[in-house]
Structure formats: C-alpha cells, structure tokens
Amino acid sequence: MKALLCRENADDIGTLRLEDITLADLAPDQVRLRIRAASVNFPDILMVQGKYQHKPELPFVVGGEFAGEVIAVGANVTRWKKGDRVVGGGFQGAFAEETQVNGALLRAIPGDADFASAASYMTANLTAYVALVRRAEIIPNEWLLVHGAAGGVGLAAVDLGKVLGAKVIATASSEEKRAFLKSYGADHVLPSQNFREAVKEITGGRGADVIYDPVGGDVFDESVRCIAFNGRILIVGFTSGRIPTIGVNMPLIKGFSIVGVRAGEYGRKFPEKGRENIAAVDKMLVEKKIRPHVYAKLPLSQAVDAMRLLQTRKVIGKVVIEP
C-alpha cells in the first residue's frame, strides 16, 4: 500500500516521499481501515519539521486525522465490523491508503456526514469547543474576536461562537477571506493588522470579552490592547511563527486572563469531560449547526501539495487528501 513517509525531520516538507509499505500483522485489539479522506492540519507539518511538542519516532506515516471504512478487525474487537464508517485521529498514519489503530480509538461517523466532512470536523471543532466552552466559559452576547478566522481552527470558532450566541468579530489577511467570512455569518470582519481601534469602536469602547488566537506574534501583541476588563485571551497556537511574550503588569492593570488551550490534553486530564466534549461536537455536526468547509480535495499522490497549500496561508477552512 502507498503511504506518505517521513524519514527525517526537515523544514522542507519536499523531503517527504510516497512509498510502498506493508502494515504489521493485525493485533487482537486493532482495526484495519481503508482511508477515504484525511484532513491536513498544521501539526502535521510541524511534526515533519521536528517543531511540534510530540515528536514521532522516525520513520513515520504523516497525517493524524482521517475517516474511512473498516476492512478487518482483530480477534478481540467486538464493537466494529467490516464496512463500518468510522472516524479517528492521532499523530500519524493518516496520509495512506490504509491504516490500523486500536479499535477503542475509533468513533462512528456522525449521522450522514460524508468522508471529507468527517475527516475535517473533529480537530478544529473540538479545539474551538474546549476553548470557548471549557476554558473561556463564553456566554451569549459577549464579544468574541477570532483571529486567523478563515483557517480551519479559526473558522470552527466563528461557527461555534454563533451557535453559542456570541457576537463575532473575525480577522483575516485577504479580501477574499474577509468576503467569505462575512458570507459565513461573522458579525464584523476586519483585516488581521491594525484592528485594535476598530474592535474598540465596534464594542462601544469595551473591547473584546474573548479573543481566540491561533496566530500569536504581532496579532497577540495588538490583542492585548483591545481586550475587555475581565476578558480572556485564548492561546491556541502560533501560526505566525513567533511565540509572543507579555509583561505581567498588563493583565494586572487591565484585569484580563491569558488562557492556554490544548483540546486533546484537556480530554486526557479530564476523561469524562473529554467524552462530553466529543459528544457535543458530534451532536452539532449531526444537527448541522457546525459546517466543515472543505477548500480543496487532493489525491494521495499530491499529499505534499496539500500540505503546502496550508503553508501558503491561502486556504479557507480545510484541505482534504482522498487516497
């Protein structure tokens, strides 16, 4: 079977190669899947570059989020059978024709979602849910400022913010992205630079109650200047490439909190709440309250091109690989 293999960590993802590999014999608790769709996320790129907090042992099959069909089950697996439509995720193994994982780590695809949507919704929407519901405890009519709002995790926050009754201000780097966000339902849309005064004006001088920041760098620095008293800045990631710093006198004087968001780790620390989070996101997908937006679908032979699309910052929503 074909799989995209990382044999060495390198900044240039062009070092990745599509290779023929053979999966190990199926263990008693494992399920083998035919992958129908796999979504591309920034951590996939960072792991290849050796810059992510989790560093898979080399060599590894790239890709963490997938949807597919069961083609075989181990001797101890009773929950799944051949032909079941399932979704799963982890740190590796998704950018391939087939993969095998512990059956306990799979979930049924919610409702009638297609494979591309099923492969696209969980990472982004679970991050948004943990951020807004668990960490920020956002309430209706609060002002939510979402940075990088046209990306996968940003768009999920816009979507969920509206579901939760927040008033959403979205920032994005291009006219195309801003036009999309306005059509998508954001209440206000701003450029991703020099937004501080506009946010204050929109909120009547109050500032944003919750700021969702997957960008970091200069965006974080400016966000500190337009956060409301008792506001919460959610640290989701650093796609700008710079991890910002702050003098602690700023949150002291302005009375705001800086809150870290790690959706997967939250579920590991609080397993019952983690299950509740996943169930809530699944329910919203079935009820079509959240809307995964697939920007492009590429074959496995163009998996590196799919990853490069993310690097160009032109993607709106998600890129999906269809082996």
Q: What is the CATH number of domain 123-265?
A: 3.40.50.720
Say how far apart CA 210 and CA 18 lie, in whole Å: 42
Task: Work out the pLDDT band at 269, boundaries 50, 70, 90.
Answer: very high
In this prediction, residue 312 carries a pLDDT of 87
| Tens digits of residue pLDDT in 148-178 | 999 999 999 999 999 999 999 999 999 999 9
Predicted structure pTM score: 0.91
Say how far apart CA 163 and CA 161 lie, in whole Å: 5
Alpha carbon distances (Å) from 54 to 46, 64, 236:
9, 12, 16
In this prediction, residue 77 carries a pLDDT of 96
Say yes or no: do domains 2-109+293-322 and 123-265 share a fold.
no
Lookup: tokens for 133: 């519901």
Q: What is the CATH number of domain 2-109+293-322?
A: 3.90.180.10
Alpha carbon distances (Å) from 72 to 34, 75, 87, 133, 220:
9, 10, 15, 37, 47
- Average pLDDT along the chain: 95
In this prediction, residue 47 carries a pLDDT of 94
Alpha carbon distances (Å) from 236 to 96, 211, 240, 282:
28, 10, 12, 21
Say how far apart CA 148 and CA 313 lie, in whole Å: 9
Using the predicted structure, report yes or no on whether residue 120 has a pLDDT greater than 90.
Answer: yes
Question: Residue ranges per domain, the chain?
Answer: 2-109+293-322, 123-265
- In this prediction, residues 202-226 reach a mean pLDDT of 97
Strand partners, 5: 17, 61
| Tens digits of residue pLDDT in 78-107 | 999 999 999 998 889 999 999 999 999 999
CA angle 154/158/164 to nearest 5° reads: 135
If residue 303 lies in a helix (H) or strand (E), which one and from where to where? helix 303-311
Using the predicted structure, report yes or no on whether residue 127 has a pLDDT greater than 90.
Answer: yes
Which residue, among 106, 111, 100, has the nearest Cα to 86 in the 3D structure?
A: 106
Q: Which residues contact 67 (CB under 8 A, 6 or more apart)?
A: 35, 36, 37, 38, 85, 86, 87, 88, 109, 115, 116, 118, 119
3-state DSSP call for residue 28?
Answer: coil
Say how far apart CA 218 and CA 194 lie, in whole Å: 10
In this prediction, residue 54 carries a pLDDT of 85
Please answer whether residues 284 and 125 qualify as being in contact, where contact means their C-beta atoms are separated by less than 8 angstroms. yes
| Tens digits of residue pLDDT in 24-48 | 999 999 999 999 999 999 889 999 9
Task: Work out the pLDDT band at 263, boundaries 50, 70, 90.
Answer: very high
